[in-house]
Structure 1
Amino acid sequence: MVLRYDSPHLNIAEVACLYAGFLGLGTLKAIKQQRRGSETLSRTSRFGKEPLKIVSWWILGVALTYVIDIANLVIYALRTPNWWPHKSSVVCLVLSLLFWGIVLISCTDTSELPRYADSFFSAYRVNVLYAWLTEAVFESVFLALTPIPGDTFQGILMADHLARLLLCLFAFAIYVTYRRKRPSRDPMDYEERRMFESSNQLDPEFAQEQSSQSLPNAKKNGSKKPKINTSWIAYFKSFTILFPYLWPVKNFRLQFHVFVCVALLVVGRIANILAPRQLGVVTEKLSQNDNGVPWLEVFLFVFYRFLQGNMGLIGSLRSFLWIPVSQYAYRALSTKALQHVLNLSYDFHLNKRGGEVLAALTKGSSVNTFVEQLLFQIGPVLTDLGVAIIYFFIKFDVYFSLIVLVMTLCYCYVTVKITSWRTEARRRMVNSWRDSYGVQNDAIMNYETVKNFDADDFENHRFGDAVDAYLRQEKTVLSSLSFLNIIQGGIFTTSLCVACLLSAYKVSYGYNTVGDFVVLLTYMMQLQQPLNFFGTLYRSLQNSIIDAERLLEIFQEQPTVVEKCDATPLKVTEGRVVFSDVSFAYDPRKPVLSNINFVAEPGKAIALVGESGGGKSTIMRILLRFFDVNNGSITIDGQDVRDVTLSSLRSSIGVVPQDSILFNDTVMYNIKYAKPDASNEEVYEAAKAAQIHDRILEFPDGYNSRVGERGLKLSGGEKQRMAVARAILKNPTIILLDEATSALDTNTERHIQASLNRLAAGRTAIVIAHRLSTITNADLILCISNGKIVETGTHEDLLKHENGVYKKMWLQQANKDPSSKKFSVE
């Protein structure tokens, strides 16, 4: 009599066709959608929302028939002496149940697919329909080959064959009927859905970007989101930009370390096989009762155990050898990231929050962590599981391999799903903790305000409410961890129980020895630890990838201002600066500068005055080539600034900003920053010229005194004079003074102005002035309004214009400070 379970070739052919067709068609469909540009589609949209429930119920029915088959087979085997089905038939039966379980999960899981990749096990219509038809064809063959049942066992088998055939045919027929009634693929056409999702789901800030004004180079600046990849290959390929800094290209010693670490990883996997195997040998020796002590066997077992694990000899040696490789990668990534950020154009820094950039720059260790977890944790765990499946197949039989395979798939799926849910809960918990910390910090930082309003009780209640919210979220996170542990333990314990019972059965009937049972038990217990850490590793790997993405975004940014291939160093002979028909706009919709024309003669001072936002600071920025002009040209001694190297351009220009920012270092370091190779005597002379030398000597540690964060230990006048000393030490031909005294009181301003006069003497000076009294003796004053030069001339000439913009500004300031006297750039 020919039964399904006595037809191994047909069983293997069916399982092979199901898996190969489902995976193959799913992969082709995913690739096709990627080429068409579809990126984020839910699984429900892949099969249609309305027929989804019917599809899921039919698939569940097919899966249940396999459950009935397994139960029927087990009961019959237990009741019938000396009968056991063919191994391949049992394996194919379990794999078929696993297959339809995967299909069912793919249909019922309505979560969004990853933006950058499609799952191979996605419930596309084509591969689900293929599975139905394939199952129906093979079930028809089985029914044709199966004779009339002679007992209950065979009757149940035939009934399941017939049930699966009818379920698959009816499901296919119902779906075809539904599609004929509704010709459109979905309530929303594919292209419409694609456009809708691409404009909303893929870029949730789309609406904000449309309503906000940005810089002209918004496509290139730091606020740009990285392009979302459409496949796992493309996604990981984007990280190849970081690989040159992970691999020690020119360091052969470190390359040797890497190869040794990989070799130790392989040896560790071998040790994981030898240790439980050797314990079985010891058990066999002890059970032989030959009055001999297996000294060598015990010693080998202890030695193999000493080699195992991260705490063993191999793991410790591998960790030791990996230290210099990890440090090399961290240094290379961190320094290159900082260098890349410093080389980015000014628009990047205008549009990127400083905290975000600093946070991204600190993620160099996350890339190392990602590589180490992938290479030394995730990789070994998956390798150990794969080796266990193969070893059990060779040492025992296919049933034990099947147990490990099913256990691994179920364990990993449950872990990934629950961990993803716990990640969201943990995010809420962290946010609640931040809220409670913020409330606490506000209360302490505003102590005086709290006391003034007698708000102690109010703040206590507010903090208590925030702590209660945090504790509720913490309870959810800890409870979910307990739930995850129970599920994981249940899966592993069930698998261990089945394996031990099967092994005990084989030992009892003489198919295996007691030593084999010990090997099986030891090996299974050995797999528990890496599986227990799989959830932690998965979450940690996710976090590392996210952190690495932030660093990757930085590396993907490209400067908008770049040197030409044939750029030459700037040769400054006189310092003559010429603006010719210069126009510029941060945003094309709003021009900032229009047709700016002026000449700054060598040794002369030009002052730029006008209302805030008129474009004065922009003139300095484009002169330093933080941005490129849209029209016109800027030349220095006849050389276009776009044709010279950026380093030579900026090293020839000295800048004294409105608010001088100092490094949290010594006074000597901050002044030397303009010329690191300067001698101490040169620093002293520059400080004397800036009238700050005597004040520095009064500091507790003189020139070795630290100035504090951003120079907060110094007064505004002291910081400005140190900025002037910097510029004097640099000794540039061209000087830019950007409202260098506007934030100071009148008395301090007069002292600083004297230092500025010394700095500008004999140099080409371009001065932005808020207080007009500081530029009365300038050689040329340009009055700028709305990005245009509306008036030019000397102070005396401009005051002669009765309704001139400059005269109105002068009179307004004179009325506010009638006692002010003229002191200016001379």
Structure 2
Amino acid sequence: MRAYADNDYPADHKPDWRIIAGLWPYLTEFRGRVIVAAIFLVTAKLATVATPVALKYIVDYLDEGTAGEMALLLPTLLVVAYGLLRFSGTLFNELRDAVFARVAERAMRRVSLRVFQHLHQLELGFHLDRRTGGLARDIERGTNGISFLLRFTLFNIVPTLLELLMVAGILLFAFNPSYVIAIVIAVAVYVVFSIKVTEWRTRFVREANARDNQSNSRAVDSLLNYETVKYFNNEAFEAERYDEDLADWEQARLSNRLSLATLNAGQALIIGVTLIVIMGMAVREAAMGEISLGDFTMINAYLIQLFIPLNALGFVYREIRQALVNVERLFKLLGEPPKVVDKPDAPALAVSGGHISFEAVRFDYQPGREILRGISFEIPAGHKVAVVGASGAGKSTLARLLFRFFDVTRGRITIDGQDIREVTQQSLREAIGVVPQDTVLFNDTLYRNIAYGRPGASDADVWRAVRMAHLADFVETLPEGLETRVGERGLKLSGGEKQRVAIARVILKDPPILVLDEATSSLDSVSEQEILDALDEIASERTTLAIAHRLSTVRDADRILVMANGVIVESGTHETLLAEQGYYARLWERQQHEGSFVGPEEG
């Protein structure tokens, strides 16, 4: 199974805490900012810990009951100091966040770009298996998880531990050691309880995420296939399936909420018991005159001050636990090795003529299901070779292998004598232009979809491609012309219009090698002839591999290969193959008789 299934983690999976150490590279880019933020963090905690001390002296001074105007000067100064300390704690925390913001945001940017680039490096097989909705959710949660880990590991757990140590030191120095013992015991019980219960409830969190992915994937899949849903009147069926997923998500969220309530209630109980015990000790000592009223107030302030972040620590631990799972999924995706990679120091492909050779090529998408079984043929430079046959024969697989979406299992493919596995993928794909059977467009303007063939092309070049693809008349009927948006996956255009855009795009790319994968499959007979004329014009000086179901579209090919069950069963020109009265002749006769052609390509 690929690494990115929605359920690739069992419910009892424990995240790898070493992931936090893996975030260090994201901190080193702005090392100065991290150091300044750490200084602000320590300063804020010093101010926070000093605040109850100022409060103690205010209460003690007032408790002494000293009268007179001068008697008000000292408490007034203490009150000002108390206010400044509180303000300083908040100020330095905000300064810390402001300084560190660039670090966290840059980390999210870096990892998002890294994932984006990595996804484009993975082979076609990965993308055929993926579920777009769930993948998008996991990427979003993973990048947000990195930001969360960077912020809260440094600015919540570390400060809370620092404050605990400072408060424990003050209480140990100024009061009975029993206070420190009680606080240590309470913190230990609180932490152990929080960890144990969080471990228990993590399965509910993960289940909720899995059901969220499932429902989101279902929704995205249904909306992407909007027309199919409408064709079969299945809106109610889709809604019912989506609601089933939402029901599972609802139940998982409910279990998550109930487990969270259990955790919060237990934490509140521990804090309540601790407050009762420590405040009871302080009341007894204050009543016996062992500590002052100011001391009592300071102890109470420290307890409140400690348990507020400690309570938040429970929340942060839960969120860090989940963030680790999300980041682990993201890192697992980043660790997914591409199956099609360039060799070290691979040279660029040097195309002199564009002579293509398939030499005893065998290929299987998965073991035990061989698609190509020893295919051998050549396409001389500047020639056009067509491949025909029934669906599932392996025709489109030839194009995928030539474009190196996959590597051959055995044998080799060469261009001008160079094994395509020995050259860079970028140079290989720069040399090949593809007009696919199913043209999918970006949700952008016509202009940008056509210019995608050569980003940075001039307007004149784009318009030249438009005219050669016979798109000009259509564009001129649009109020916004080339600035017309084509919609999601190009749904606002007809099949023929999308096909013309694909042809314009490849004309603009101007490659030495062309692959036409049933390039006129969505066109009527009049449009088809216009496009065939345009394709013949651009293919006249290029090496062309044409994959076809409709035999009439490739009758002019220099050579026609007939495939069946992964092998070439016939080869020759249109006339010679008809004369042989074999498989090709039967296909031709059937298509002429039916006035149709074999269904969509699946091979």
Q: What TM-score, normalized by structure 1, do the two folds share?
A: 0.64
Name which of 614, 617, 620 aligns with 2:396: 617
State how far apart, in whole Å, the 2-side matches of 1:604 and 1:469 are.
58
State how far apart, in whole Å, the 2-side matches of 1:241 and 1:683 are.
46
Q: Which residue of 2 aligns with 1:733?
A: 512
Structure-2 change in CA distance of 1:348 and 1:512 (3 Å): same
1:496 aligns with 2:275: yes
Question: What is the correspondence of 1:11-410 to structure 2 with a 5 Å cutoff?
Answer: 235-237=16-18, 243-244=24-25, 246-249=26-29, 254-291=30-67, 292-293=71-72, 294-308=75-89, 312-362=90-140, 363-410=142-189
Name which of 655, 660, 666 aligns with 2:434: 655
Structure-2 change in CA distance of 1:696 and 1:471 (3 Å): closer
Q: Which residue of 2 aligns with 1:796?
A: 575
Name which of 283, 287, 303 aligns with 1:508: 287
Tell me the CA shift for residue 742 of structure 1.
Answer: 2.5
Tell me the CA shift for residue 728 of structure 1.
Answer: 0.8
Could you tell me which amino acid in structure 2 is paired with residue 598 of structure 1? F
Q: Which residue of 1 aligns with 2:190?
A: 411
Structure-2 change in CA distance of 1:346 and 1:788 (3 Å): same
Structure-2 change in CA distance of 1:242 and 1:569 (3 Å): farther
1:575 aligns with 2:351: no
* Unpaired segments ≥5 residues, structure 1: 1-208, 210-217, 821-826
Q: Which residue of 2 aligns with 1:808?
A: 586
State how far apart, in whole Å, the 1-side matches of 2:377 and 2:54 are.
89
State how far apart, in whole Å, the 2-side matches of 1:649 and 1:430 are.
40
State how far apart, in whole Å, the 1-side matches of 2:247 and 2:349 are.
64
Q: Which residue of 1 aligns with 2:601?
A: none
Question: What is the correspondence of 1:669-680 to structure 2 with a 5 Å cutoff?
Answer: 669-680=448-459
Tell me the CA shift for residue 755 of structure 1.
Answer: 2.8
State how far apart, in whole Å, the 1-side matches of 2:397 and 2:213 are.
39
Structure-2 change in CA distance of 1:798 and 1:223 (3 Å): farther
Conserved? CA contact 1:269–1:380, under 8 Å: yes
Structure-2 change in CA distance of 1:255 and 1:471 (3 Å): closer
* Secondary structure at 2:549 match in 1: coil
Q: Which residue of 2 aligns with 1:181?
A: none
Tell me the CA shift for residue 236 of structure 1.
Answer: 3.9
Q: Which residue of 1 aligns with 2:600?
A: none
Name which of 314, 336, 351 aligns with 1:557: 336
State how far apart, in whole Å, the 1-side matches of 2:20 and 2:526 are.
57
State how far apart, in whole Å, the 2-side matches of 1:647 and 1:798 are.
37
Question: What is the correspondence of 1:474-493 to structure 2 with a 5 Å cutoff?
Answer: 483-493=262-272
Tell me the CA shift for residue 766 of structure 1.
Answer: 0.3
Structure-2 change in CA distance of 1:345 and 1:428 (3 Å): closer
Structure-2 change in CA distance of 1:278 and 1:367 (3 Å): same
Tell me the CA shift for residue 727 of structure 1.
Answer: 0.8
State how far apart, in whole Å, the 2-side matches of 1:764 and 1:290 are.
103
Tell me the CA shift for residue 330 of structure 1.
Answer: 1.4
Structure-2 change in CA distance of 1:703 and 1:811 (3 Å): same
Tell me the CA shift for residue 374 of structure 1.
Answer: 1.2
State how far apart, in whole Å, the 2-side matches of 1:337 and 1:616 are.
32
State how far apart, in whole Å, the 2-side matches of 1:554 and 1:471 are.
28
String of CA shifts for 1:777-817, please: whole Å, max 9, x gaps.
11100111121111100111111223x21112112211211
Q: Which residue of 1 aligns with 2:496?
A: 717
State how far apart, in whole Å, the 2-side matches of 1:650 and 1:338 are.
19
Tell me the CA shift for residue 528 of structure 1.
Answer: 2.4
* Secondary structure at 2:387 match in 1: strand
Structure-2 change in CA distance of 1:424 and 1:622 (3 Å): closer
Conserved? CA contact 2:17–2:324, under 8 Å: no
Conserved? CA contact 1:248–1:325, under 8 Å: no
Conserved? CA contact 2:6–2:134, under 8 Å: no
Could you tell me which amino acid in structure 2 is paired with residue 349 of structure 1? H
Tell me the CA shift for residue 419 of structure 1.
Answer: 4.4
1:627 aligns with 2:406: yes
* Unpaired segments ≥5 residues, structure 2: 598-603
Q: Which residue of 1 aligns with 2:320?
A: 541
* Secondary structure at 1:558 match in 2: coil
* Secondary structure at 2:27 match in 1: coil
Q: Which residue of 1 aligns with 2:547?
A: 768
Identity, in percent, stands at 36
Structure-2 change in CA distance of 1:325 and 1:475 (3 Å): closer
Conserved? CA contact 2:44–2:91, under 8 Å: no
String of CA shifts for 1:339-374, please: whole Å, max 9, x gaps.
111122223223333334333332322211122121
Structure-2 change in CA distance of 1:544 and 1:716 (3 Å): same
State how far apart, in whole Å, the 1-side matches of 2:6 and 2:245 are.
35
Structure-2 change in CA distance of 1:746 and 1:223 (3 Å): farther
String of CA shifts for 1:284-303, please: whole Å, max 9, x gaps.
22222332122221111111
Conserved? CA contact 1:222–1:347, under 8 Å: no
Conserved? CA contact 2:361–2:372, under 8 Å: yes
1:527 aligns with 2:306: yes
Bigger Rg, structure 1 or 2: 1
Tell me the CA shift for residue 384 of structure 1.
Answer: 2.3
Tell me the CA shift for residue 387 of structure 1.
Answer: 3.1
State how far apart, in whole Å, the 2-side matches of 1:435 and 1:638 are.
48
* Secondary structure at 2:434 match in 1: strand
Q: Which residue of 2 aligns with 1:817?
A: 595
State how far apart, in whole Å, the 1-side matches of 2:16 and 2:250 are.
38
Structure-2 change in CA distance of 1:224 and 1:650 (3 Å): farther
Could you tell me which amino acid in structure 1 is paired with residue 437 of structure 2? Q
State how far apart, in whole Å, the 2-side matches of 1:343 and 1:773 are.
37
Conserved? CA contact 2:445–2:485, under 8 Å: yes
Tell me the CA shift for residue 656 of structure 1.
Answer: 0.3
Tell me the CA shift for residue 390 of structure 1.
Answer: 3.0
Tell me the CA shift for residue 424 of structure 1.
Answer: 5.2
State how far apart, in whole Å, the 2-side matches of 1:596 and 1:434 are.
42
State how far apart, in whole Å, the 2-side matches of 1:340 and 1:473 are.
32
State how far apart, in whole Å, the 1-side matches of 2:437 and 2:504 are.
15
Q: What TM-score, normalized by structure 2, do the two folds share?
A: 0.87
String of CA shifts for 1:479-520, please: whole Å, max 9, x gaps.
665554443333222211221222232233343222211111
Tell me the CA shift for residue 322 of structure 1.
Answer: 1.8
Tell me the CA shift for residue 238 of structure 1.
Answer: 5.3
Could you tell me which amino acid in structure 2 is paired with residue 319 of structure 1? D
Q: How many residues align?
A: 577
State how far apart, in whole Å, the 2-side matches of 1:430 and 1:600 are.
51
* Secondary structure at 2:362 match in 1: strand
Tell me the CA shift for residue 435 of structure 1.
Answer: 11
Structure-2 change in CA distance of 1:657 and 1:563 (3 Å): same
* Secondary structure at 2:352 match in 1: coil
Tell me the CA shift for residue 695 of structure 1.
Answer: 1.1
* Secondary structure at 1:608 match in 2: strand
Could you tell me which amino acid in structure 2 is paired with residue 555 of structure 1? L
Name which of 456, 461, 464 aligns with 1:685: 464
String of CA shifts for 1:239-298, please: whole Å, max 9, x gaps.
655543x2253xxxx432211111111112212220111111111222223321222211
Could you tell me which amino acid in structure 2 is paired with residue 273 of structure 1? V
